[in-house]
Amino acid sequence: MKESDIPKVIEILKKHYESWEAPVVTLVAQHTNDPFRVLICALLSTRTKDETTAKVCQKFFKKVKTPEDILRLSTEQLEELIYPVGFYRNKAKQLKELARILIEDFKGRVPDKLEDLLKLPGVGRKVANLVLSDGYGIPAICVDTHVHRITNRWCLVKTKTPHETERELMRKLPKEYWIVINRLLVAFGQRICTPQKPKCDLCPIEEFCGKCGVG
């Protein structure tokens, strides 16, 4: 894929996006624009199916609105509230520590700077950039497994790690596409450009794809 093809590809993906299943965290952001909810759902979603994350987040935010609400719950209550997400016991402890840090260091507010977000327990670059982009509307590229795989498959980048992919995409993608690229490619990657046996016959952007690594 040539860099000059990017605007056309993005527009085509936008047209098809509604017919694909949107990522859970993006749906949360679209309905709330709340960085705290985006952060919590992103943390709960790791090693967990989207359907499970959606149900747990819905249940969680009926009881929890702020970091203070988390601290009022015991670890056992938190475990029960977030079950059955993956590693729920570890995540319950993580949420307690997260809430404490948000209150003590950031006055109960989720920070809006990458370096501050990376200080929070369980938060790597992927989650931090998701909070910036979907929670605050700040241009940032959230590179998860789908974004990393697909942009390499397009031959748009040639990278070995998500961090390398993020750097390359920051160089090649116009800033106006930084926020939207994750939600488009996660849905696209779940439905069409799957890890194994991508459905090239159903792909609306096949003509632009370099098919690097596709047998």
Cα dihedral across residues 6, 7, 13, 14: positive or negative: positive
Q: If you write DSSP's letter for every residue of 114-141 in order, what string do you get?
A: HHHHTTSTT--HHHHHHIIIIIH-----
- Catalytic residue flag (residue 144): yes
CA angle 126, 132, 138 (to 5 degrees): 130
- Catalytic residue flag (residue 126): yes
Task: Kindly name the residue from 91, 96, 134, 144 that is annotated as catalytic.
Answer: 144
C-alpha to C-alpha distance for 88 and 208, rounded to whole angstroms: 41
Q: Comparing C-alpha atoms, which of 163, 209, 64 is closest to residue 201?
A: 209
Task: Kindly name the residue from 91, 96, 126, 134 that is annotated as catalytic.
Answer: 126
Catalytic residue IDs: 126, 144
